[in-house]
Amino acid sequence: MNNEELKQKINTLTDKAEFSEEGSEFLNVIIPPEALHSLASSLKFDNDTKFDFLFCLSGVDWITHLMTVYHLTSTELKHTLVLKVKIHDRENPEVDTVCDLWRTAEFHEREVYDLFGIKFRNHPDLRRILLDDDWKGFPLRKDYKDEVNIVEF
C-alpha cells in the first residue's frame, strides 16, 4: 500500500490519528497513548497492512511532551510506517506495551524506560537494562543533570 492508502486504512481503524509526512521519508502517524495498542494490533493482524516487523523503537524528549516512536514495516507487503505516541504527562508517563505483538519490543521498551522513564503498562519485566538498577534519573531526557559525568560547554 502506498502512503495515501495507508492513511485511509488507518482512518478506518481509529479516529484519533494525525498524519504528517513533513521532514520524514515515511508516513508518520501521531496518536495519543490510549489508542496505541488497539491500533498497533490491528496494523499487525489486518491482512491489508500486516506490519510484522518492528525494526526500531525509540523514545524522544520534546521538552513539552515525550514521545515513543515505532518504525514498522511489513516483510510481505514492503510498506513502512512510523507510529508516534505523544505523551503529555512528563511526571508519570505511561503507555501500553507492544511486546505481546512484537517480541523485540521487550528489550527496546526496557531501554526506553531506562533512558526516558516512560513506563510501559503490562510489560512482563520492566527494569533498567543498560544502566545500574539504582541509577537516579533518566539520562536521555533534556532536563537531566549530571554534574559529575556531563561537562557542559
Partner 1 sequence: MEDLLNKAETQEYFINMGPQHPSTHGVLRLMLTLDGEIIKKVEPHLGYIHRSIEKMSEKDSYYQMVHLTDRMDYLSCHINNEAVCLAIEKGLQLEIPDRVKYIRTIISELTRLSSHQLWWGVMGMDLGAITTFLYGFRDREMITDIFEETCGARLTMNYNVPGGLMFDIHPNFQKRTKDFIKHFKKKLPEYDELLSGNIIFTERTKDIGYLSKEDAISYGVTGPSGRGSGFACDVRKRIPYSAYDKVEFKEIIYTEGDSFARYKVRMDEMKESLYIIEQLIDNIPEGDFKAKTKAVIKLPDGEYYQRVETARGELGVYIISDNKKNPYRVKYRSPGFSNLSALDTMARGGKIADLVAMMSTLDLVIPDIDR
Positions touching partner 1 (CB under 8 A) are 22-26, 52-56, 58, 60-61, 69, 71, 75, 78, 102-104, 106-108, 111, 115, 128-132, 139-140, 150
Nearest to partner 1 of 8, 55 (CB atom): 55
Least distance from partner 1 to the Cβ atom of residue 12, Å = 25
How far is the C-alpha of 3 from the C-alpha of 79, rounded, in Å?
Answer: 8
Least distance from partner 1 to the Cβ atom of residue 15, Å = 25
Summary count for the chain: helices (H), strands (E):
3, 7
Nearest to partner 1 of 15, 23 (CB atom): 23
49-52 contacts at long range (C-beta below 8 A, 24 or more positions apart): 49/1, 49/6, 49/9, 49/74, 49/77, 49/79, 49/81, 50/74, 50/76, 50/77, 51/81, 52/76, 52/102
Confirm if 76 and 45 have CB atoms less than 8 A apart.
no
Nearest to partner 1 of 76, 94 (CB atom): 76
Least distance from partner 1 to the Cβ atom of residue 104, Å = 4
Nearest to partner 1 of 32, 100 (CB atom): 100
How far is the C-alpha of 90 from the C-alpha of 82, rounded, in Å?
Answer: 22
Least distance from partner 1 to the Cβ atom of residue 56, Å = 4
Looking at the chain, how many residues does it have?
A: 153
